Amino acid sequence: MPNSKGYRKGTRSKFSRAFREHGPLGLSTYLRTFRMGDYVDIKVNSSIHKGMPHHFYHGRTGKVFDVTPRALGVIVNKRVRNRIIPKRIHVRIEHVQKSKCRDDFLERLHKTSFLKNQAHKLKVELKEAEENKNNEKIEEIKKQQEEMKKSFRALKRLPQQPKSGFLVEVDKTAETPIQTLKPLKFIPHF
Amino acid sequence: MKFIKITKTKAYFSRFQTKFRRRREGKTDYYARKRLILQDKNKYDTPKYRFVVRFSNRKITCQIISSRINGDLVFCAAYSTELPKYGIKLGLTNYAAAYATGLLCARRVLVKLGMDKMFEGVKEPNGEEYHPEELENRRPFKCILDVGLARTTTGAKIFGAMKGACDGGLNIPHSTKRFPGYKEDNYDPQVHRSYIFGQNVADYMTYLQENDEAKYQRQFSRYIKEGIKAEDLEEIYTKAHAAIRADPVHKPKEKDPNLKPKSYKKQRLTLEQRKQRVLDKIEEARKKYQENQDNDDDDNDDDDDNDDDDDN
């Protein structure tokens, strides 16, 4: 007997409400605002029957391309055989949450752009100081620049590096501070 | 002891899902609240204001509130306890007071927004249906009525507050169906007007004066003390409306910086205090025992032997 093709097939646990989280939604879901270009996670809320996306999209993240009175238009990628289609679906707000996928990136972006700004300002000040031949100021600025350079090195994200070397402490007071283990001689018992 | 089957077992409690806190307290109707708060998403952050009217046993609260995730923001508020300032000293929960509070709230909001000259509303209330008109470059301040858990019957005081706000210049979408004076598809603004000026109270006053003097004395004792008669009511309210329109701005009370708020916290005893309390109790018990013994001594002398078995 083949698999049934019902719209909500296979959603017994996916669409079930969490333990002790049944019933009406808290109102913060309804108070959130979304803008076009925002990234959103689609998480179906099966107590709201309207505007429910197909269960394929549960757990997907997409970009908002449309905002209507009660729903959002989201572009989600779907792989169909040999290609990926950017699907456009309309989902009610209750089934959508703001995605944090961009947060880390944006934070880093703001930090680096802020520092870049600072560096640029210093550069401009340095130029000014050199024109005015203000030696004290030049030294001050150069010091600040050195400080900045140190922090710049830490800006780049590095993958996990191999562990650095460390010293193993040996209890010198013990009878055998370092025990050398050797394999036992193989005695064939057959 | 009768055998009682425990229905609220440990399993019951561990599986129990509580309703929202304000639902448990019986204060919020979430079905209504969701629909009042929900703003079209394509209006983004535009606030949706509700004109909230709540009645307590002794006062009326009118507030203009918008909702945020962190909590609702009260943009402007008016309480019927402020009405004495405008000349309404008594009857702070009646229809006329509701109207006045609504009016006060509306005027306050408009002054706050600098729109009070543009939207005068209805200066002399006549109970007729009124919706403020749009101006060329400004639309009236729109809010929706939030009734809470009140029953929306015809002639209810909540609608009095709403009428006060509308006549004050706010745009609260409504129809006349629930105003006093609406009867069998006909709306009689005169009846509504009489309520706005407290004539329902005045009529009752005169009725009691004629029929049941004793009850009149009891029911309207404070009115009598203030010297307010049934005929005076209309004037009181008219003057109050004018006073409200003249100066609706709220003046916060001067706070005495040295005055600490009264703490209702139950003070816990220290260890010494607790120990002392125990000793005091023992002392008291001992005294009482002694008294009883002395009384027994007076009654029967045979019981002298029992005195040896003392406490300690």
**A81 and A131 fall within a common domain:** no
Q: Is any Cβ of chain A less than 8 angstroms from the Cβ of B21?
A: no
| Chain B contact present for A35, CB below 8 A | yes
Q: Is residue A17 part of a domain?
A: no
Q: Is the pLDDT of residue B307 over 60?
A: no
**Number of structural domains, chain A?**
2
* Angle in degrees, CA B139, B143, B144, rounded to 5: 140
A111 in the same domain as A77: no
Q: What are the tens digits of pLDDT across the range B135-166?
A: 999 999 999 999 999 999 999 999 999 999 99
Shortest CA distance from B47: residue in chain A: A31
The CATH code of the domain that includes A70 is 2.30.30.70
> Which chain A residue has the Cα nearest residue B32?
A27
The answer to whether position A72 is within a domain reads: yes
User: What 3-state DSSP class applies to A76?
Assistant: strand
Quick check: A47 contacting B, CB < 8 Å? no
Q: Kindly tell me if the per-residue pLDDT of A189 is higher than 80.
A: yes
Interface mutation vs chain B, best among A17, A30, A96, most B CBs within 10 Å = A30
Same domain, A91 and A121: no
**Are residue A40 and residue A90 in the same domain, yes or no?**
yes
Q: Examine residue A4 and state whether it is found in any structural domain, yes or no.
A: no
Query: Binning pLDDT at 50, 70 and 90, where does residue B302 land?
Result: low
CA atoms of B130 and B103, how far apart (whole Å): 13
Q: Name the domain boundary from A80, A98, A116.
A: A98
Tell me if A69 and B40 make a contact (CB, 8 A cut-off): yes
CB contacts, 8 Å: B40 with chain A = 69-70
- In this structure, are A42 and A58 located in the same domain? yes
Which of A21, A27, A38 has the most B C-beta neighbours within 10 Å, making it the best mutation to test the interface with B? A27
Using a CB–CB cutoff of 8 Å, tell me whether A21 touches chain B. Answer: yes
- Which of these, A124, A157, A154, A163, lies nearest to A141 by C-alpha position? A124
Instruction: Render pLDDT for B175-214 as a digit per residue (tens, 0 to 9).
Output: 999 999 999 999 999 999 999 999 999 999 999 999 999 9
CA B13 to CA B64: how far, in whole Å?
A: 40
Task: Supply the mean pLDDT for chain A.
Answer: 91
The DSSP element (H or E) to which A43 belongs, if any, is none
Which chain B residues contact residue A22 at CB under 8 A? 17
Q: Is residue A5 part of a domain?
A: no
Same domain, A88 and A109: no
Q: How far is A74 from chain B (nearest CA, A)?
A: 14
CA distance B159 to B154: 9
> Helix axis angle, B199-211 relative to B189-196, nearest 10°?
80
Q: Do B40 and A72 touch (CB under 8 A)?
A: no
DSSP state of B155: T
Q: Do residue A94 and residue A45 come from a single domain?
A: yes
Please answer yes or no on whether A93 and B41 come within 8 Å at the CB atom. yes
Residue A66: inside a domain, yes or no?
yes
- Same domain for A75 and A138, yes or no, is no
Q: Helices in A43-161 by DSSP H: which ranges?
A: 103-132, 135-153
Whether B289 and chain A come into contact, CB under 8 Å, resolves to no
| Nearest C-alpha in A relative to B41 | A69
Question: Are A120 and A66 in the same domain?
Answer: no
What is the pLDDT averaged over residues A149-161? 81
User: Positive or negative, the Cα torsion across B165, B167, B171, B176?
Assistant: positive
Whether A184 is in a domain gets the answer no
> Is the pTM value of this prediction over 0.90?
no
A55 and A75 part of one domain: yes
Taking the Cβ of residue B31 and every Cβ of chain A, the question of whether any pair is shorter than 8 Å is answered with yes
Asked if residue A107 and residue A80 are part of one domain, the reply reads no
Same domain, A53 and A115: no
Closest-CA residue of chain B to A31? B69
What is the predicted pLDDT for the residue at A171?
Answer: 84
Q: Could you tell me if residue A182 is inside a domain?
A: no
For residue A48, give its domain range. Answer: 27-98
Q: Which residues of chain A lie closer than 8 angstroms to B41, CB-CB?
A: 33-34, 67-72, 93
Q: Does the distance separating the beta carbons of B40 and A27 come in below 8 Å? A: no
Q: Does A35 reside within a domain?
A: yes
CA B146 to chain A, closest CA, distance in angstroms equals: 16
- Tell me the pLDDT band of A172, cut-offs 50, 70 and 90: confident
Please tell me the distance in Å from A84's CA to the nearest CA on chain B: 29
Nearest to B34 among A27, A33, A67 (CB): A27
Element (H, E) at B77: strand B71-79
Tell me the ipTM for this assembly: 0.75
Q: What is the pLDDT of residue B94?
A: 94
Section A63-84 average pLDDT: 96
CA distance readout (Å), A105 to A32, A96, A97, A112, A183 = 22, 21, 18, 11, 52
**Is B41 within 8 Å of A35 when comparing Cβ atoms?**
no
Task: Please indicate whether, in this complex, the C-beta atoms of B33 and A30 are within 8 angstroms of each other.
Answer: no
Answer whether A69 sits within 8 Å of B42, measured CB to CB.
yes
**Whether B103 contacts B164, CB under 8 Å:** yes
Q: Which residues of A63-80 are buried (b: 16+ CB within 10 A; e: fewer)?
A: bbeebeeebbbbebeeee
Nearest by CB to B42, which of A25, A32, A67? A67
With an 8 Å Cβ cutoff, are A27 and B37 in contact?
A: yes
Give phi and psi for B225, each to the nearest 5. -60, -40
